Structure 1
Amino acid sequence: MRILTLGGGTVGRWIADMLCRRRHSVTLIDSDPEIVRSINSELDVRAIEGNASQSTVLFSADVLSADLCLAVTGDDEVNIVAASMAKALGARRAIARVYAPAFRDLSTFDYQRHFQIDSLLSLEQLSASELARAIRNPDAIPLEHFARGQLQVYEMDVAAGSAAAGKKLMELQLPPSVRVGSLAREGRMWIASGADETRAGDRVSLVGMPDAVSVARQIFGGEKRRRKQSKVMIAGGGETGYHLAGLLGREDFRTVLLEQDAKRCEQLAKLLPDVTVVHANANRRSVLEDEGGGTVDYFVGCTGNDENNIMAGVEARELGASRVMCVVGRPDYANVVGKLGIDLAVSERDVVARQILGFLNEGAIISQSKLPNGSIGVYELEILEGSAVTQASLANLPLAGRCLIAAIQRDGFVRVPTASDVLEVNDIIVALIDLSDADEVLSLFHSD
C-alpha cells in the first residue's frame, strides 16, 4: 500500500521504518532539512522537505494515490489540518495524532467529523486503554478507540438466581441501547445471539450506552451484591494516567493517583471527582508506604519517564503490590522489566503499531483487531454503496451467531442498533465477527 507520513520526528520516523520493513511504499514529509536528509540516507523511504499543511507539498508527495495518510508531527493543529487536507485532496484514509484531550472531547466540538478525518489517535489514550484492559480483563472487547469512545463495555458473571440465568437472550427485557456482545463458558468465548441461553457462572460482555449498561447489569447480577472493589494506584498524572483513571469505573475500582505537580493535581481533582488525587512523588518509597502502595491490587507507573516508572514499580512490588504494570518506551528495556518483577510493560510504540497496522485495509474495512482469545475480530467498517447489508434490516441479514453489529455511527452520532435498523451508505459500524466466518461475512459489506 502507498502510505504518506507527515512528520519525521521520533514517532514519524519509527512508523515509516516499520511500514517500509513490511514492504509498503512510504513517502514522508518534514520541514527540517536535516531530518529529511537523514531519512533519505538511512531508510528506504522517499522523504520530502516542506510544510505538511500546504497543498503544493502534499501534491508533490502524490497525495492523490495515497491509501493512508498519517499526520504525526509534534503539533496537534498541524496534524488535524494536514490530515483533513490530505483526505480532501484524494487520500483514501487520513489519521491525525493528537495529544490534547480537548480534540477528542465530543461535548465541546467534534473535530474529527468537522475536518472529515477517519480517526484521531492519541498515543496516551491508547496506552491507557491497554492498561485498563489488562486490569479489567485481558480478553475484554477493546472498544475504547472504536465508536468515538462513546460506548461502554462491561464484563460480568451471570449470578445464580438472577433474571438472566437459564433464559435465552431474546427472552430478556434488556434496554434497547445495550447488546450482549459475547458469552464465555468453560474456557470458550463466542459471539452472542438471541437464541443463546445463559447459565449461572457464564461471563457476558455488555456493550452499550453507560446508563443502559447499568440497567442491564441488574438483570445479570441478581440481588444487589456489591462487587469487591479492586485497589489501583497510578503513579503519574499526565495524559496516560488521567485517561487510565477515567477508564476505571468507580463501581469496581478504588483509584489513587499520585502526581508531584501541584497545579496538575488541582486540575485532576476537578476532572476526576471519583479518584483520590495525592500531591506526592511516587518515586519515594516512604510516599508509597504512606499511601498504601503495598496493599493495592494494581500498581501502574506512567510518569512519563521510563526509569521512574520502573523504579516506582520495583518499590511497589517489594512493598507487596499484587500486580505491577508500567509504561516503558525504550525497546531495549523490554527484556529487563520482567526480571525486575514487573508483570506488564506497555510500549506506546507497540500499541500505536498495532493500531496503525489495523488501518492497512482495503474496501469497506477501516480498521480491525483481534481479541486475545483468537476467535473473534473487532472490525470498524464503512457501509459502501451497493453492498448487500443495505438491502435488509439487521434481523433479516444472515449474521446471527457470526456477526454482531455493536454500534452505528451516522451523521456524527453513535448508537446501539436494534434488529429493525437498516444500514445506510456512509454509516460507520463496529462489528464483532467470528473469524472462522470472516470472509463470508465481510463479503456482505463489499460493494458489488
Structure 2
Amino acid sequence: MRVLTLGAGTVGHWIADMLCRRRHDVVVVDINSDRVRQINSELDVRAIEGNASQSTVLFQADVCSADICLAVTGDDEANVVAASMAKALGARRSIARVYAPAFRDSSTFDYQNHFGIDALLSLEQLSAFELVRAIRNPDAIPLEHFARGHLEVYEIDVEPNAQGADQKLRDLKLPGTVRIGSIARDGEMWLASAEDEVHVGDRVSLIGIPAEVNRSRTLFTGPTHRPKRESVMIAGGGEIGFHIARALPESDYRITLLENDAERCTHLAKLLPDATVVHANANRRSVLEDEGGGAVDYFVACTGSDESNIMACVEARELGARRVMAVVGRPDYANVVGKLGIDHVVSERDVGARQILGFLNQGAVISRSILPNGKIGVFELEIVEGARVADATLAELPLGGRCLITAVQRDSFIRVPTANDQLKVGDVVVALMDLNYMEECLALFNRSSRL
C-alpha cells in the first residue's frame, strides 16, 4: 500500500520504519531538513522537506494516490488540518494523531466529523485502555479503537444461580445499548443469537456503552457475588494516568493518583472528583510507604520516564503491591522488566503499531481485530455506495450465524441496532464475524457484492 506519513519525529520515524519492513511504499514529509536527510539515509522511503499543512507539499508527496495518510507531527492542530487536507485532496483514508483529550471528546465539538478525518489516534489513550483492560478483565477484548472509543467489550463467566443462567437471550432484560456478542462453551465459541441460552460456566461477551455494560454484568453473577472494591495507585498524572483514572468506575475501584506537578494536581482534582489526587513524587520510597503503595491491589507507573516507571514498580513490588504495571517505551528494556517482577508492561509503540496496522485494509474495512480464540473477528466497516448492505435493514441481510452487527455510527451518534434498522451509505458499523465466512460476509459490504 502507498502510505503518506506526515512528520518524521520519533513517532513518524518508527512508523515509517515499521511500514518499510512490511514492504509498504512509504512517503514521509517533515519541515526539518536534518530529519529528512536522516530518514532518507536510514530507511527505504522517499522523504520530502516541507510543511505538511501546505497543499503544494502534499501534491509533491502524491497525496492523491495515497491509500492512507498518517499525520503524526508533534502539533495536534497541524495534524488535524493536514489530515483533513489530505483526505480532501484524494487520500483514501486519513488519520491524525492527537494528544489533547479535547480533540476526541465529541460531546462539545466533533473534530473528526467536522474535518472529515477517518480516525483520531491517541497513543496515550490507547495505552491507558490497555492498562485498564489488564486491571478490569485480563481476558477482555480491547475494542477501544472501534466506534471512536464509545464501545466496550467485557467477557464474564456465568456463575451458579445467576439471574441470566438457563435463559434465552431474547428473554434477558438487557439495556438497549448492550448486546451479547458471543458465547464460549467447552472450548467452542460462536456468535450469539436471540434463541441461544446461556448456562452456568459459559463465558459471554457483552458489547455496548461502558456504563451499561458494567451494570449488565450482574445478570451473570450469583446473588451473593459482591466483588470487593479494589485499590489502584497511579504514579503519574499525564494523559495516560488521567485516562486510566477516568476509565475505572468509582463503584469498583478506589483510585489514588500521584503527580509531582502542583498545577497539574489541581487540574486533575477537578476532572477526577472520585479519585484521591496527591501532590507527591512517586519515585520516592517514603512517598509510596506514606500513601499505602504497598497495600494496593494494582500499582501503575506512567510518569513519562521509562526509568522512573521501572523503579517505582520495583519499589511498589517490594512494599507489597499485589500487581505492578508500567508504561515502558524503549524496546531494549523488554527483557529487563520481566526479571524485575513487573507483571504487565505496555508500550505506546506496540499499542500504536497494532492500531495503525489495523487501518491498512482495503475496501470497506476500516480496521479489524481477532478475538483470543482465533475464530471470530471484529471489524469496523464503512457502508459504501453500491454495497449490498446499503439501504437494507439488518433483517433483510443474510448474516445469521456468520456476522453480527453490534453497533452503528451515523454522523456523531453511535447506537446498538435492531433487526429493523436500515444501513445508510456513510454509516460505520462494528461487526463480529465467524472467520470461516469472512470473505463471504465482507463481500456484502463491498461495491461489487451480490446475493
Tell me the TM-score normalized by structure 2. 0.95
| Cα offset, 1:187, TM superposition | 4.9
Deviates more, 1:400-409 or 1:121-130: 400-409
| Cα offset, 1:182, TM superposition | 2.4
**Residues 175 and 215, structure 1, Cα contact 8 Å, conserved in 2:** no
Residues 344 and 209 of structure 1: is their aligned pair in 2 closer, same or farther, counting only changes over 3 Å? closer
Deviates more, 1:47-56 or 1:138-147: 138-147
Tell me, in whole angstroms, the C-alpha distance in 1 between the residues paired with 2:367 and 2:41.
32
Cα-to-partner distance string for 1:83-110 (whole Å, 9 max, x where unaligned) = 0000000000000000011111111110
Matches within 5 A, 1:251-262: 251-262=251-262
Cα-to-partner distance string for 1:140-177 (whole Å, 9 max, x where unaligned) = 12222211222344443334333311011022232322
Residues 122 and 387 of structure 1: is their aligned pair in 2 closer, same or farther, counting only changes over 3 Å? same
Amino acid at match of 2:48: I
Amino acid at match of 2:264: R
| Cα offset, 1:258, TM superposition | 1.0
Residues 389 and 295 of structure 1: is their aligned pair in 2 closer, same or farther, counting only changes over 3 Å? same
Residue matched to 1:33 = 33
Deviates more, 1:417-426 or 1:145-154: 145-154
Tell me, in whole angstroms, the C-alpha distance in 1 between the residues paired with 2:5 and 2:104.
21
Tell me, in whole angstroms, the C-alpha distance in 1 between the residues paired with 2:150 and 2:108.
14
Deviates more, 1:162-171 or 1:385-394: 385-394
Amino acid at match of 2:193: S
Matched, 1:309 2:324: no
**Residues 139 and 155, structure 2, Cα contact 8 Å, conserved in 1:** no
Tell me, in whole angstroms, the C-alpha distance in 2 between the residues paired with 1:210 and 1:344.
23
Residue matched to 1:88 = 88
Residue matched to 2:18 = 18
Tell me, in whole angstroms, the C-alpha distance in 2 between the residues paired with 1:192 and 1:150.
21
Amino acid at match of 1:305: S
Residue matched to 2:364 = 364
| Cα offset, 1:431, TM superposition | 1.2
Residue matched to 1:389 = 389
Deviates more, 1:174-183 or 1:117-126: 174-183
Residues 113 and 391 of structure 1: is their aligned pair in 2 closer, same or farther, counting only changes over 3 Å? closer
Tell me, in whole angstroms, the C-alpha distance in 1 between the residues paired with 2:111 and 2:336.
40
> Where in structure 1 are there 5+ consecutive unaligned residues?
none
Amino acid at match of 1:313: C
Residues 215 and 37 of structure 1: is their aligned pair in 2 closer, same or farther, counting only changes over 3 Å? closer
Residue matched to 1:104 = 104
Matched, 1:246 2:246: yes
Deviates more, 1:281-290 or 1:360-369: 281-290
Tell me, in whole angstroms, the C-alpha distance in 2 between the residues paired with 1:211 and 1:239.
21
Residue matched to 2:400 = 400
Deviates more, 1:299-308 or 1:428-437: 428-437
| Cα offset, 1:404, TM superposition | 1.8
Residue matched to 1:235 = 235
Amino acid at match of 1:436: N
Matched, 1:197 2:197: yes
Residue matched to 2:266 = 266
SS of residue paired to 1:315: helix
Amino acid at match of 2:306: D
Q: Superposition RMSD on alpha carbons, in Å?
A: 1.7
**Residues 379 and 431, structure 1, Cα contact 8 Å, conserved in 2:** yes
Tell me, in whole angstroms, the C-alpha distance in 2 between the residues paired with 1:86 and 1:275.
41
Residue matched to 1:133 = 133
Residues 127 and 261 of structure 1: is their aligned pair in 2 closer, same or farther, counting only changes over 3 Å? same
Amino acid at match of 1:440: E
Tell me, in whole angstroms, the C-alpha distance in 2 between the residues paired with 1:93 and 1:227.
44
Deviates more, 1:122-131 or 1:435-444: 435-444
Tell me, in whole angstroms, the C-alpha distance in 2 between the residues paired with 1:210 and 1:254.
18
Residues 265 and 184 of structure 1: is their aligned pair in 2 closer, same or farther, counting only changes over 3 Å? farther
Amino acid at match of 1:400: G
Matched, 1:61 2:51: no
Residue matched to 1:171 = 171
Tell me, in whole angstroms, the C-alpha distance in 2 between the residues paired with 1:252 and 1:187.
30
> Where in structure 2 are there 5+ consecutive unaligned residues?
none
**Residues 139 and 373, structure 1, Cα contact 8 Å, conserved in 2:** no
Aligned length: 448
| Cα offset, 1:357, TM superposition | 0.5
Matched, 1:412 2:417: no
Tell me, in whole angstroms, the C-alpha distance in 1 between the residues paired with 2:342 and 2:218.
36
**Residues 139 and 371, structure 1, Cα contact 8 Å, conserved in 2:** no
Matched, 1:45 2:68: no
- Percent of matched pairs sharing the same residue: 71
Matched, 1:300 2:300: yes
SS of residue paired to 1:389: coil
| Cα offset, 1:69, TM superposition | 0.1
SS of residue paired to 1:358: helix
Tell me, in whole angstroms, the C-alpha distance in 2 between the residues paired with 1:210 and 1:126.
16
Cα-to-partner distance string for 1:326-353 (whole Å, 9 max, x where unaligned) = 0001111111110111112111111111
**Residues 32 and 49, structure 2, Cα contact 8 Å, conserved in 1:** yes
Amino acid at match of 1:197: E
**Residues 164 and 220, structure 2, Cα contact 8 Å, conserved in 1:** yes
**Residues 140 and 371, structure 1, Cα contact 8 Å, conserved in 2:** no
Matched, 1:219 2:211: no
Amino acid at match of 2:358: G
Matched, 1:319 2:319: yes
Tell me, in whole angstroms, the C-alpha distance in 2 between the residues paired with 1:311 and 1:231.
20
Deviates more, 1:16-25 or 1:165-174: 165-174
Residue matched to 2:354 = 354
SS of residue paired to 1:207: strand
Tell me the TM-score normalized by structure 1. 0.96
| Cα offset, 1:286, TM superposition | 1.5
Deviates more, 1:28-37 or 1:292-301: 292-301
Tell me, in whole angstroms, the C-alpha distance in 1 between the residues paired with 2:60 and 2:216.
54
Tell me, in whole angstroms, the C-alpha distance in 1 between the residues paired with 2:284 and 2:167.
53
| Cα offset, 1:401, TM superposition | 3.0
**Residues 176 and 418, structure 1, Cα contact 8 Å, conserved in 2:** no
Residue matched to 1:7 = 7
Amino acid at match of 2:429: I
| Cα offset, 1:216, TM superposition | 3.2
| Cα offset, 1:209, TM superposition | 2.8
Residues 254 and 376 of structure 1: is their aligned pair in 2 closer, same or farther, counting only changes over 3 Å? farther
Deviates more, 1:35-44 or 1:234-243: 35-44
Residue matched to 1:434 = 434
Tell me, in whole angstroms, the C-alpha distance in 1 between the residues paired with 2:338 and 2:409.
41
| Cα offset, 1:138, TM superposition | 2.9
SS of residue paired to 2:90: coil
| Cα offset, 1:218, TM superposition | 4.2
Residues 245 and 189 of structure 1: is their aligned pair in 2 closer, same or farther, counting only changes over 3 Å? farther
